[in-house]
Amino acid sequence: MKQQVNQPGSTPQSLIRNFCIIAHIDHGKSTVADRILQLSGVVDAHDMRNQFLDKMDIERERGITIKSQAVRVPWAVDGTEYTLGMIDTPGHVDFTYEVSRSLAACEGAVLLVDATQGIEAQTLSNLYMALDDDLEIIPVLNKIDLPSAEPEKYGEEIANLIGCDPDDILRVSGKTGEGIPELLDTIVKKIPAPHGDPDAPARALIFDSVYDSYRGIVTYIRMEDGEIHSRERVRQMGLGSAHDPIELGVISPDMQPTQSLGAGEVGYIITGVKDVSQSKVGDTITTEKNPATEVLPGYREPEPMVYAGIFPMDNVDYPDLRDALDKLVLNDASLVYQPETSVALGFGFRCGFLGLLHMQIIVERLRREFGLELITTAPNVHYRVIAEDSSEITVTNPSEYPEGKIRAVYEPVADADIITPKEFVGDVMDLCQEHRGNMKNMEYLSTERVDLHYELPLGEIVFDFFDQLKSRTKGYATLNYELSGEQEADLVKVDILIQGERVDAFSAIVHRDKAYAYGVMMTKKLQKLIPRQLFEIPLQAAIGARIIARETISALRKDVLAKCYGGDITRKRKLLEKQKAGKKKMKMLGRVEVPQEAFIAALSTDDTTDRDTREKIRAAKKKASL
Ligand SMILES: Nc1nc2c(ncn2[C@@H]2O[C@H](COP(=O)(O)OP(=O)(O)OP(=O)(O)O)[C@@H](O)[C@H]2O)c(=O)[nH]1
C-alpha cells in the first residue's frame, strides 16, 4: 500500500478534494472506484477484488451497491500530492436517500454514464440532486472498451443535458483503466477545495454510522470547520450527548487511526458507546472544550414509500427484533419502524421503506446479520382517510382502516420519469394508462430516446410496475419517481376470512378495480398453502360484509370431531392432540392450523401474477361486476 504524504489532521484544505461518483444503476461506479483505488496505490494488485468498496455480502452477491463508502485516496498532479475523499454511491432508486447524504459531504460529483446505454432515469435524478447541492459536475462516459460503445452519440446527449461542450466529456473504461488517470487529474483541477474555517470551533457532519458489536457505534463524519483531536471530548449538538472518542481515523482502504481530523477531511469516530439512541445521522459533532454554536444543515427526514409489518417467526424473538432494528437504523437512516400487534402474527413492527428492494434488503440483513427468522406482511403505501365524522387518520396498516362509512380516501401520487427508446413509447403509454397514470409531457433526449413524464399513484408504481416496464420495453426503459402529492381515490379494504374469521395479516387496501384480483389471488394461494384438516375450511375475501371471492379446502377425511358431537371433551382433545403430533410449527387461526410457511408464501410478492390466478380473475370478473 502506498505511503500517503498528506497526513490526516494536517492536510491543508487547498490539497483536499471531496467527490462522489453518481450514476444510474450498473453504469460502473464501483468498477471505476476499484480502478481509482488501484491506480492511486491504495489497494495493491494482489489485494484487489471486484467491487472492493462493496463490503456487505448482499452487495457482492447481487452486484449492487447499497451503502455509500468513503475512502481517502492520494493523487499527485504536477508533483503535488492531493488528498481525494471519494464516495462510491448506490444507483438504485430505493437508495436515493443514501446518495443525497453522500452529496452533502462533497464539493463535486463524477457523473458516470454508460457509453453503451446513454442517460437513464437515475442519471437524471442523481444529477439534479447534485446540482441542487451546488456541486461541480464532471461528466464521464464509461465502458468505452466495449465494441457497442457509442461515445459520440451519448456524449451529445450529456452535453445537451448539462450544457457543456461534448469534447469536455471524459471517456474512461473502469474495466481497463483507460482514462482513469485523466479523470483523477480533472477532479483535482475542477472540483473546488473545501472552504470551511480551519480556525473556527470544530463542526463535523455525521453522514453515516454503523454498529460494531465489539466497538459500539462507528460514526462517519465530514469535517467542516476546525479540528478534532483523539482524546478530545466530543458533543453531538442535536442530541446533546457527549463522549470521549476511543479512536479517530480515516478509511484508506481500511480504518486507519489518526491523532486528529482537520477541516475538509472525511473520517470516522468511535466513542465506544453502545446505546444506539446516542447517535443520529445528520447531527453535528463539535468539541466540549471549544463548542460551535450553530449546527450544520442536516438532512431532511426521508419519507417512506412502502410499509409492511415485520414479525418474528417465534414471538420470543420480539426483543431481539427490536434490538436488531435499533442497530440497523444506525446504518440505514431511511428505515422507520414502530411496534405493531397482529392477532394472527403476534408482536412485531410496522416498518417504512423507500421501496420494495429496500424492504428486501432490510429483511435480508435482519436475517443474516442478526440471525432472525421473520414473517413479512404484504407491503402497502400510506393513505389519508377522512371518516364520516370528518376525523382524519393516516393509515399505514390495513388493520387501521376505519370500519363503517368513509367520506374520502387520499392516496399518494408520484412524479415519474420514464426514459425509453422511441419505438416503445406506445407500450409505455399503455402501461401507464393501465396503472391510472396521467401524462404530463414528453421530451426527446435525442432523435431516438424519449423522456416521458407521468403522474402515477405511488401504489401503482412501487410493486410490479418496474418489472412490467422492463418486459414491455425489452429491458430498455428506465424509471425514476418521487413523491409529489396526493389524490382522492376509490379504495377499499379487502379482508380475508378463514373459516369465517378475519385474518388481519392478509387484509389489503386496494383500488376497487383490483379488489377482485386480490381476493381471488389470496384465497387461491391459501387454498394451496393451508393443509387440509379434519373439517371443511371456507376461505373468503370480503369488502365489509360482502363476500367477493371464495375457495374451499375440503376436509381431510371424515370429520373426527363430528362423531364427538355432544360427547366427551377429553376424547375430542385426544383426537386433536393426535392430529397435531409430528406437525411443524403452526399458528392457530380459530380452529384452523396454518403453518408458518403458508404465511410467508401467501404474503410473498413474487408470484402474484401466476397464470392460474389471472385466468380465475378473468372468469370471476365475467361472472359479476363490482
Ligand atoms: N466492459 C466494461 N464493463 C464494465 C465497465 N465498468 C463496469 N463494467 C461492468 O458493468 C457492470 C456494473 O458495474 P458496477 O461497477 O457494479 O456498477 P455500479 O454503477 O457500481 O452499480 P450499482 O452500484 O449497483 O449502481 C459490471 O458487470 C462491471 O463489470 C467498463 O468500463 N467496461
Whether the per-residue pLDDT at 8 is higher than 50: the answer is yes
Q: Is 145 annotated for ligand binding?
A: yes
Burial of 201 (0-12, 13-18, 19+ CB in 10 A): middle
- Burial readout 468-507 (b: 16 or more C-beta within 10 A, e: otherwise): ebeebbeebbbbbbeeeebeebebbbbbbbbbeebbbbbb
- C-alpha distances (whole Å) from 388 to each of 9, 103, 383, 404, 525 are 63, 46, 16, 8, 35
- Minimum-distance ligand 1 atom for the alpha carbon of 25: 25
Whether the per-residue pLDDT at 298 is higher than 80: the answer is no
Give the separation between CA 360 and CA 604, rounded to whole angstroms. Answer: 11
> Probe ligand 1: pick from 22, 24, 26, max atoms within 8 Å of CB?
26
- Minimum-distance ligand 1 atom for the alpha carbon of 64: 24
Whole-number Å distance, alpha carbon 174 to ligand 1 midpoint, is 7
- Residue 143 near ligand 1, beta carbon < 6 Å: yes
In this prediction, residue 193 carries a pLDDT of 95
- Burial readout 382-401 (b: 16 or more C-beta within 10 A, e: otherwise): bbebbeeeeeeeebbbbbeb
Q: Is 144 annotated for ligand binding?
A: yes
Residue ID of nearest Cα to ligand 1 atom 12 = 26
Whether the per-residue pLDDT at 580 is higher than 60: the answer is no
In this prediction, residue 623 carries a pLDDT of 46
Q: Is 217 annotated for ligand binding?
A: no
| Number of residues that make up the chain | 626
What pLDDT band is residue 618 in, cutting at 50, 70 and 90? Answer: very low
Contact 209, 276 (CB under 8 A): no
- Residue 174 near ligand 1, beta carbon < 6 Å: yes
- Residue 126 near ligand 1, beta carbon < 6 Å: no
- Residue 61 near ligand 1, beta carbon < 6 Å: no
Whole-number Å distance, alpha carbon 81 to ligand 1 midpoint, is 28
Helix H segments across 435-550?
A: 458-461, 465-472, 515-529
Whether the per-residue pLDDT at 246 is higher than 50: the answer is yes
Whole-number Å distance, alpha carbon 482 to ligand 1 midpoint, is 25
Give the separation between CA 111 and CA 105, rounded to whole angstroms. Answer: 16
Residue ID of nearest Cα to ligand 1 atom 32 = 143
- Residue 63 near ligand 1, beta carbon < 6 Å: yes
Measuring CA to CA, which residue among 253, 293, 212, 243 is closest to residue 74? 253
The helix/strand/coil state of 391 is: coil
What pLDDT band is residue 625 in, cutting at 50, 70 and 90? Answer: very low
Give the separation between CA 494 and CA 547, rounded to whole angstroms. Answer: 9
Whole-number Å distance, alpha carbon 27 to ligand 1 midpoint, is 5
Residue ID of nearest Cα to ligand 1 atom 21 = 26
Whole-number Å distance, alpha carbon 89 to ligand 1 midpoint, is 13
- Residue 142 near ligand 1, beta carbon < 6 Å: yes
Helix H segments across 63-179?
A: 96-103, 121-132, 151-162
At 1, list the grid cell: 500500500
- Minimum-distance ligand 1 atom for the alpha carbon of 34: 15
In this prediction, residue 279 carries a pLDDT of 78
In this prediction, residue 616 carries a pLDDT of 43
Contact 404, 388 (CB under 8 A): yes
At 397, list the grid cell: 396498516
Stronger pLDDT, 11 or 452, i.e. the higher one: 452
In this prediction, residue 426 carries a pLDDT of 94
Whole-number Å distance, alpha carbon 69 to ligand 1 midpoint, is 16
In this prediction, residue 563 carries a pLDDT of 56
At 266, list the grid cell: 472525511
Give the separation between CA 11 and CA 107, rounded to whole angstroms. Answer: 17
At 543, list the grid cell: 369488502
Of the candidate ranges 306-310, 507-511, 552-556, 600-604, the one whose mean pLDDT is the lowest: 600-604
- C-alpha distances (whole Å) from 191 to each of 161, 184, 447, 528, 599 are 20, 10, 33, 60, 53
pLDDT digits (tens, 9 = 90+) for 104-137: 889 999 999 999 999 988 898 889 889 988 999 9
In this prediction, residue 55 carries a pLDDT of 65
Domains annotated for the chain, with CATH where assigned, are 13-190 (3.40.50.300), 203-287 (2.40.30.10), 306-379 (3.30.70.870), 384-489 (3.30.70.240), 492-625 (3.30.70.2570)
Q: Is 143 annotated for ligand binding?
A: yes
Whole-number Å distance, alpha carbon 28 to ligand 1 midpoint, is 3
Whole-number Å distance, alpha carbon 591 to ligand 1 midpoint, is 54
Whole-number Å distance, alpha carbon 56 to ligand 1 midpoint, is 17
- Residue 29 near ligand 1, beta carbon < 6 Å: yes
In this prediction, residue 584 carries a pLDDT of 45
Whether the per-residue pLDDT at 417 is higher than 80: the answer is yes
Residue ID of nearest Cα to ligand 1 atom 2 = 143
Peptide bond into 253 cis (omega under 30): yes
Sign of CA dihedral 596, 598, 599, 601: positive
Q: What is the ipTM of this complex?
A: 0.97
Task: Give the other-Cβ count within 10 Å of 165's Cβ.
Answer: 8
In this prediction, residue 620 carries a pLDDT of 45
Whether the per-residue pLDDT at 626 is higher than 80: the answer is no
Whole-number Å distance, alpha carbon 73 to ligand 1 midpoint, is 20
At 383, list the grid cell: 393513505
Q: Is 323 annotated for ligand binding?
A: no
What pairs with residue 82 in β-bridges? 75
Q: Is 126 annotated for ligand binding?
A: no
Measuring CA to CA, which residue among 517, 526, 536 is closest to residue 497? 526
Please identify which residue in the block is written with the cell numbers 471530548. 233
Residue ID of nearest Cα to ligand 1 atom 24 = 64
- Minimum-distance ligand 1 atom for the alpha carbon of 89: 23
Burial of 421 (0-12, 13-18, 19+ CB in 10 A): middle
In percent, the amount of the chain with pLDDT more than 70 equals 89
The helix/strand/coil state of 283 is: coil
- Beta-carbon contacts of residue 516 (< 8 Å; ≥ 6 apart): 548, 549, 617, 620, 621, 626
Stronger pLDDT, 46 or 412, i.e. the higher one: 412
Contact 490, 408 (CB under 8 A): no
Q: Is 252 annotated for ligand binding?
A: no
pLDDT digits (tens, 9 = 90+) for 196-218: 999 999 999 988 888 887 888 88
What pairs with residue 257 in β-bridges? 249
- C-alpha distances (whole Å) from 469 to each of 119, 227, 443, 462 are 17, 50, 18, 12
The rounded mean pLDDT for the chain is 85
Burial of 29 (0-12, 13-18, 19+ CB in 10 A): buried
Q: DSSP secondary-structure letter at 16?
A: E
